[in-house]
Amino acid sequence: MKSKIYRLSVISIMALTISSASFILLTGCAKNIKKHMLPPDVYYKKGLFYARQHNYSKSVKNFKALIENYPTYRNAQKAELKLGDAYFLGGKFIEAAGAYMDFIHLHPRSKFIPLAMYYAAMSYYKRKQATGRTASPLRHAKIILEELASKYPYSTYSKKALKYIKIINVDLSKNSFFAGLYYFNASLWKPAAYIFKNVLKRYPGTPVIPETLYYLAVCYRNLNDKKTESYYKNILRKNYPQSKYATMA
């Protein structure tokens, strides 16, 4: 019995010793971590400093450290926007869009929402690809800009948004026209005509419209639909008489 009690005592002492050692080790690690952490003001000022120096990777590093370690800091919201700015100016447009969209979702009532929406859209716009390739970034940009113009019509960023919506529509119209031309060149008249009609519907007033009308007329000529061919020729000649496509028609 005494032997059993003795063994239990030894085990208890060993467990206590291990626990104490673990606590000391963890406490020491925590102290070391805290020792390497800077005050929030320092992170914020360093983030601004490196941004002014165009060292955007270090600016990002400091703003991220501030946001992660001091989420309740008085300038935390500004730091979240500055993080987006640092990514954007550093050419990291995917990360910039993510940072701005995070700000929008976290602070829906902030006075800086129009700014964040505009630069989120610009982050997508900057990722636009050559005509004929994916138009997904442009479509994302347009959706955000349209929402910005609708929700904040009196913001200065809404005026900029309306300007870029027109520019994006030109890019999207070219992209859609290129898709129609692909089917046209393959002599697939019906799908080509379908896409060309979508260009007319979605992007009226864009520079590609006269050419689209011309190719639509040719599609229907090849489909032996003289009535519809004549319809698109007449629109082309009436609305764009100076266009070379009107002469060709």
| Six-digit token string for 105 | 């979702």
How far apart, in whole angstroms, are the C-alpha atoms of residue 102 and residue 144?
14
Q: What is the pLDDT of residue 135?
A: 87
Distance, C-alpha 176 to centroid of its chain: 21
Q: Are 217 and 226 in contact (CB under 8 A)?
A: no
pLDDT at 9 over 80: no
Q: Which pLDDT score, from 0 to 100, does residue 247 have? A: 86
Judged by average pLDDT, the poorest of 6-20, 36-50, 164-178 is: 6-20
Judged by DSSP in three states, 169 sits in helix
Q: With 50 as the cut, is the pLDDT of residue 22 above it?
A: no
* pTM beyond cutoff 0.85: no
Say what the pLDDT of residue 4 is.
46
Q: Band the pLDDT of 228: cuts 50, 70, 90.
A: very high
pLDDT, average across residues 29-47:
75
Whether pLDDT at 8 is above 60: no
Residues 6+ apart with CB under 8 A from 148: 114, 117, 118, 121, 155, 157, 158, 161
With tokens 């360093």, the residue in question is: 46
Q: Region 168-172: what's the mean pLDDT? A: 96
Q: How far is Cα 37 from Cα 51, in angstroms, rounded to an integer?
A: 21
Cα–Cα dist 114/156, whole Å: 9
What torsion, rounded to 10 degrees, do the Cα atoms 177, 182, 186, 191 define?
A: -50
Q: Is the pLDDT of residue 131 over 70?
A: no
* pLDDT of 35: 55
